[in-house]
Amino acid sequence: MALTQVSSNKCAGGYQKVFEHDSSELQCKMKFAVYIPPKAESDKCPVFYWLSGLTCTEQNFITKAGAQQAAADHGIIIVAPDTSPRGCGIEGEEESWDFGTGAGFYVDATQGPWSANYRMYSYVTDELPKLINANFPADPDRMSISGHSMGGHGALVCTLRNPGKYKTVSAFAPICNPIQCPWGQKAFSGYLGTDKSTWEAYDATVLAASYDGPQLDILIDQGGDDQFLSSSQLLPDHLIAACSAKKIPIVFRRQPGYDHSYFFIYSFMGDHIKHHAKYLNA
């Protein structure tokens, strides 16, 4: 699968790069960012996948999260894909900030006209890792995943649906119970249809309640002044209760004064990289 390099910048001793490729899953050109640490010059490195939130592209994380130095220190490749297909010519794809372009929700759509292109779940869990493993000094047996908001939802779902695939998972202000919140209900009804039983495959709280796989160690940071926490979009208490019932270890840190922005992510990204390094470099 051919890659076209869009940009390359020396950063923290390694390189922050962006590539473009033709996606077979999404039937369009897709961009993803990859940070290659200095260690990758001589060894295969583990890979940390980052899933961004609503309205983001691959640029938000690499320019705002400040993850590169920690990734360099721990010898971790970071891969940050875009959040949806783009330019597919689907009627209505540009009408809403929380549905369509920039809002793929990491599901495989089953409803027209979205089903041909909006397959972000399969892109993230299958196509993209194969691409990374074939083109970069990546260790295919050492992957982890994290994300923010919609991307936190995606990271949790990818982990809970694929026991053992990821060494660990973390999230910043994830949408924890999308079938119960306005963002999730809008996205799932559009992408997956009106049969709500099909939505459960993409709901971290539901998946945690039935999880039966290798032991997990989940780290979640949540801003205490997050406007979407108070508006019942995130619902972390639902996930915490489900994990508690299944005895899934979850460290939930409510960070006073922090909001939903990348200022919040930047403040605790180092902790998350360390959390992942503990399992990726074990």
The single-letter code of the amino acid at 115 is S
Residues 82, 254, 213: CA angle, nearest 5 degrees:
65
What are the backbone dihedrals phi and psi of residue 40, each rounded to the nearest 5 degrees, phi first?
-70, -10
* C-alpha to C-alpha distance for 271 and 219, rounded to whole angstroms: 9
User: CB of 10 within 8 A of CB of 37?
Assistant: no
The answer to whether residue 212 is catalytic is no
Q: In angstroms, what CA-CA distances link 169 with 58, 189, 272, 277, 280?
A: 19, 27, 9, 11, 11
What is the full DSSP assignment across 114-146? TTTT-BHHHIIIIIHHHHHHHHSSEEEEEEEEE
Task: Assess whether 226 carries a catalytic annotation.
Answer: yes
DSSP state for residue 261 in the 8-state scheme? S
Place of tokens 């945690």: 208
Q: Copy the structure tokens of residue 116.
A: 């041909």
Tell me which of 108, 149, 170, 272 is the catalytic residue.
149
Interatomic CA distance for residues 243 and 207, integer angstroms: 10
Q: Within 10 Å of residue 263's Cβ, how many Cβ atoms? A: 11
CA distances from 152 to 26, 65, 89, 264 (A): 21, 14, 27, 14
Could you say which DSSP state residue 40 is in? G
Q: Is 146 a catalytic residue?
A: no
Cβ 142 vs Cβ 75: under 8 Å: no
Catalytic residue among 238, 260, 272, 275: 260
Interatomic CA distance for residues 25 and 209, integer angstroms: 29
Q: Which of 108, 146, 226, 276 is catalytic?
A: 226
Instruction: Return the active site residues.
Output: 149, 226, 260
